[in-house]
Amino acid sequence: MAEPRSTEAHATKKRPYVYVFGALAAVTALELNVGILGLAHDLQVAALLMMATLKASLVAAYYMHLRYEPRWLILIPFGGLALVTVLVVALMGAGL
């Protein structure tokens, strides 16, 4: 009869979904409380954009499994990000 495999090998390969969920919840709580900090409107918007970018990066990296993909595949979303950046800059320049 074969011996059962040790679960230690599987424990080291666990992906940190629970920790990422906790980080997402913490950043969401921070986002909800940005308004009570008394920051200027522009700083509030900048802080919210940074936190949203952090959350999107965590979701893409762990829940969409990009963290475990080859490096070249990770570069694909940067093309779309560059286009969005150009669009935002163009709209800001147009005064919209």
Place of tokens 């200027």: 40
- How does pLDDT run across 37-57, given as a tens digit for each residue? 888 888 888 889 889 989 988
In this prediction, residue 65 carries a pLDDT of 76
Residue 20 placed within a domain? yes
Query: Which residue range forms the structural domain that includes residue 83?
Result: 71-96
Asked whether the predicted pLDDT for residue 31 surpasses 90, the reply is: yes
Decide: pTM greater than 0.75: no
pLDDT at 95 over 70: no
**Is 55 among the domain residues?**
yes
Query: Looking at the 3D structure of the chain, how many domains does it have?
Result: 2
Percent of the chain whose predicted confidence (pLDDT) is above 70? 81
Q: Are residues 77 and 52 in the same domain?
A: no
* pLDDT beyond 80 at 21: yes
3-state secondary structure the chain: CCCCCCCHHHHHCCCCHHHHHHHHHHHHHHHHCHHHHCCCHHHHHHHHHHHHHHHHHHHHHHHCCHHHCCHHHHCCHHHHHHHHHHHHHHHHHCCC
